[in-house]
Amino acid sequence: MFHFVLFVVSMSSDRSSRHSKIIGQFGEHLVCNFLSRSGFEATIVDHTGTDIIEYHEDSKARMGISVKSRTSKADCTARAVRLSKRKEEQDGFGKLRRACEWFGCKPWIAVYFEWDDCAKLYLTRLDHYKAMHVEEGKNASRWSMSEQRMSKLEADADVAYVELTFRKEHWSSLLKQ
């Protein structure tokens, strides 16, 4: 299980017009970074259903990972990440499953959620997420980021977890000098 706290200088809370694209790519690269640091071969792929293909030589494990990223202001009350835009094959993960079938992988999901002062990254098997973290009758295509859900995720040995902390200094004030 990963649990790192990194200190970086945060950007202004005013976001650029391309911020969602940038945050999505950052989430993918962050997942690859921590997989690589743990001895996995990982690459970002541009394929419907999966963002990263990973292989571990010792265990022969191969994962197809769908990465979802979201950024939120500190006062934002919407605390969830949409994992799937539409309900396909009843649970919204048909594209991920098909891509993993084609590439001989097991389906995994990663969620990167960023606030103004911190960010959290979670990684787990799709079947584990659905079995342990989706309440009966609830929509599996939304990953809750409530305080209660994050505590449960962080205590789960089958969920890799990374936390980043951002200092309050802003680049925009430094660049205006």
Q: Note whether residue 161 is domain-resident.
A: yes
Over residues 147-157, the pLDDT tens digits come to: 888 888 999 99
Q: In the chain, pLDDT over 70 holds for what percent of residues?
A: 73
Q: Is position 34 within any domain?
A: yes
74 lies in a domain? Answer: yes
Strand partners for 123? 110, 160
Residue 77 counted as domain residue: yes
**pLDDT bucket at 51, cuts 50 / 70 / 90:** very high
Q: What is the DSSP string of 57-85?
A: TTTTEEEEEEEEEEE--TT----EEES-S
Q: Is 27 helix (H, G, I), strand (E, B) or coil?
A: helix
Q: Are the CB atoms for 76 and 116 separated by under 8 Å?
A: no
Q: How far apart are CA 24 and CA 14, in angstroms?
A: 17
pLDDT tens profile 65-112: 999 988 876 644 457 777 776 554 556 788 899 999 999 999 999 999
Note whether residue 151 is domain-resident. yes
- Does 14 map to a domain? no
pLDDT in tens, 124-136: 999 998 887 666 6
Task: Please provide the distance, in angstroms rounded to a whole number, between the alpha carbons at the two ends of the chain.
Answer: 42
Domain count across the chain: 1
If we measure between CA atoms, which residue out of 1, 46, 13 comes closest to residue 114? Answer: 13
Q: What CATH number does the domain containing 113 carry? A: 3.40.1350.10
Which H or E run includes 50?
A: strand 50-56
Nearest residue to 30 via CA among 130, 132, 141, 114: 114
- Structure-block tokens of residue 171: 């680049």
Task: Give the domain extent around 160.
Answer: 5-9+19-175
In a domain, 119, yes or no: yes
Q: How do residues 3-12 score in pLDDT, each as one tens digit?
A: 444 444 444 4
